[in-house]
């Protein structure tokens, strides 16, 4: 897997995490225990740092970057769907950014909140705890997130992490 230091910025990946061989990790990136980074994902911590807590998934094709002023922080038990884009934002514990969604500078996705597929959370926006953010630009629907959906996805990806660490092998 391509994991790169950039000068003195060196990734720190917990031994119990899974980083797919086709993911790219660069610079100031920390990945917690039982978290996963899937094929085609790029995490580039060059201008600032990227932090991923425990049991969180960064799914296939996702781009995670920072700004020189704002890190990107993904809490514990978070789900970041396929082909999402996170840029200088914070996802609090037990939140979800669905496939194709974009979360931009200084935005915060609260605990138990979900950003719906293909939605765009603009700069400085707050998605309150338990809310659903829908659309481009996102509109907040208070209390509409389904916590069972987050829990199911977190558990599925923790199980995939263990399976892929044990069973993934290249055959060509």
CATH code, domain with 90: 2.160.10.10
Per-residue confidence (pLDDT) for residue 131, from 0 to 100: 98
Per-residue confidence (pLDDT) for residue 148, from 0 to 100: 96
Task: Give the model's confidence band at 142: pLDDT under 50 very low, under 70 low, under 90 confident, else very high.
Answer: very high
Per-residue confidence (pLDDT) for residue 160, from 0 to 100: 96
Q: Where are the alpha helices (DSSP H) in the chain?
A: 147-167
Total domain count for the chain?
1
Residue 172 forms part of a structural domain: no
* Token pair belonging to 111: 């605990």
The answer to whether the CB of 127 falls within 8 A of the CB of 108 is yes
Can you tell me the distance from the alpha carbon of 108 to that of 153, in angstroms, rounded to the nearest whole number?
A: 20
Per-residue confidence (pLDDT) for residue 171, from 0 to 100: 95
Q: Range of 31's domain?
A: 3-167
Q: What is the pLDDT of residues 1-15, one digit of tens each?
A: 689 999 999 999 999
Task: Give the model's confidence band at 37: pLDDT under 50 very low, under 70 low, under 90 confident, else very high.
Answer: very high
**For residue 137, cis peptide bond before it (omega within 30 degrees of 0):** yes
Residue 16 forms part of a structural domain: yes
Can you tell me the distance from the alpha carbon of 83 to that of 34, in angstroms, rounded to the nearest whole number?
A: 21
Per-residue confidence (pLDDT) for residue 1, from 0 to 100: 63
Residue 74 forms part of a structural domain: yes
Rounded mean pLDDT, 131-136: 98
């Amino acid at each position: 897997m391509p994991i790169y230091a950039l000068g003195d910025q060196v990734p720190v990946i917990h031994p119990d995490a899974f980083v797919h061989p086709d993911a790219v990790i660069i610079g100031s990136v920390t990945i917690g225990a039982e978290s996963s980074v899937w094929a085609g994902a790029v995490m580039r911590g060059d201008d600032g740092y990227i932090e991923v807590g425990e049991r969180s998934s960064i799914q296939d094709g996702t781009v995670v970057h920072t700004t020189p002023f704002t890190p990107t922080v993904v809490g514990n038990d978070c789900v970041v769907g396929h082909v999402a884009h996170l840029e200088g934002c914070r996802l609090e514990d037990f939140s979800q950014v669905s496939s194709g969604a974009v979360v931009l500078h200084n935005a915060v996705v609260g605990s138990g909140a979900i950003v719906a597929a293909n939605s765009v959370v603009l700069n400085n926006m707050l998605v309150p705890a338990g809310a659903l953010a829908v659309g481009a630009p996102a509109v907040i629907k208070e209390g509409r997130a389904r916590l069972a959906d987050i829990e199911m996805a977190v558990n599925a990806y923790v199980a995939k992490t263990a399976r892929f660490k044990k069973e993934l092998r290249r055959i060509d």
